Structure 1
Amino acid sequence: MTTASTGVDRTLLRDSLSRWPSGVAVVTTVDESRAPRGFTATAFSSLSMDPPMVLVCLDRGADCRPAFETAGVMAVHLLREDQAHLAQRFATKDIDKYEGLPVSAGLGGVPLLGGVVARIECVLDRRIDAGDHVILVGLVHRCESFTGAPLVYFARSFHGLQPPTHHREADPS
């Protein structure tokens, strides 16, 4: 696919975007032979509450892209502040990302990681081509949340983000 250049300097754009903190997720699935696949994502978002949907962006150059093109399910794992090693592992190409990693089976056999702050299991609803990425839209079928502080990515490095010490209700006005 060809795209028209806007003349924006890529280095400047990357630097600008690095100033926006993002949560860090590992997204998993199984390929047609039932082998586990996955990638690290910082482009993840809630999309809809009715029906419950989320989206995640997958780089077209990712080695797991073919698996996600045909997969029926995916799980999004929101990483805990001490799980930067998992983010790095799932961002690395040409390695067995699951070697020695304990996983359990979720919806449709999707690999589930432990120790995360939240886990969302989805049926893949659609894939949308967008520039150098594919947007994966998932219809949420199961979700769980756990304790712990989330891992965030800011200024090209991983950081912890302390959760609030108390819960405040939103002001309705």
Structure 2
Amino acid sequence: MSARSPDFTSIAFRQALGRFPTGVTVVTACMPGEDPVGLTVSSFNSVSLDPPLVFWSLSLGSSSKSVFERCERYIIHVLSAEQFDIASRFASGTREQRFEGVPLVRTAGGQLRLDLECAAWFECYNRHRFVEGDHLMLLGEVEHCEHSPALPLIYHAGGYDLTPARQ
């Protein structure tokens, strides 16, 4: 048995998915002897607490795909509400433009991390990757994480939600 063909257009599917708000992350990696790569990703989720696992996906058409297929480790930065400019920068432009003027620091695990006050960050071992549909799926085992009290940047209905959360 298999799934029935969709009874909707890809535009309708994208619009329906856009009703689900997500956090905004920048994922970075650096292969030995190569410049760092990074991109804005909103397809990030927790998978397991024991072991600590997270999941994200990357378009097969991404210029960064070859690095994430090969790298052993990467860092997922959960952006704060004030980091809209960082999200925009890492969503377009060349590799060099994305990192230009952005402070970096090396983690204890040897990875380059954005030296910014992100809401959280996760240093991950690239545990498993596989292709499904038009995306590369990546399962990361978290080796280190930190968080701050900063409010997260939210992506919803095709744009960034810059409205602070209310309690």
Q: What is the CA–CA distance in structure 1 between the aligned matches of 2:141 and 2:59, rounded to whole Å? A: 20
**Identical counterparts, % of pairs:** 33
Q: Taking structure 2 as the reference length, what is the TM-score of the superposition?
A: 0.89
Match of residue 134 from structure 1: 136
Q: What is the CA–CA distance in structure 2 between the aligned matches of 1:143 and 1:85, rounded to whole Å? A: 23
In structure 1, list runs of 5 or more residues that go unmatched: 166-173
Deviation at 1:115, TM superposition (A): 1.3
Give 2:144's aligned amino acid: R
Match of residue 126 from structure 2: 124
Deviation at 1:108, TM superposition (A): 4.5
Deviation at 1:34, TM superposition (A): 3.5
Match of residue 168 from structure 1: none
Give 2:102's aligned amino acid: L
1:15-65: per-residue Cα shift (whole Å, max 9, x none)? 111111010000010134232111111110111111111011111111111
Q: What is the CA–CA distance in structure 2 between the aligned matches of 1:164 and 1:127, rounded to whole Å? A: 37
Match of residue 18 from structure 1: 18
Q: What is the aligned residue count?
A: 162
Q: How do residues 13-162 of structure 1 correspond to structure 2 at under 5 angstroms?
A: 13-96=13-96, 97-106=98-107, 108-113=109-114, 114-160=116-162, 162=164
Give 1:76's aligned amino acid: I
Q: What is the CA–CA distance in structure 1 between the aligned matches of 2:8 and 2:33, rounded to whole Å? A: 41
Q: What is the CA–CA distance in structure 1 between the aligned matches of 2:27 and 2:33, rounded to whole Å? A: 18
Compute the RMSD of aligned alpha carbons. Answer: 1.9
Q: What is the CA–CA distance in structure 2 between the aligned matches of 1:105 and 1:151, rounded to whole Å? A: 24
Conserved 8 A contact 2:38-2:95: no
Any idea what SS the aligned residue of 2:82 has? coil
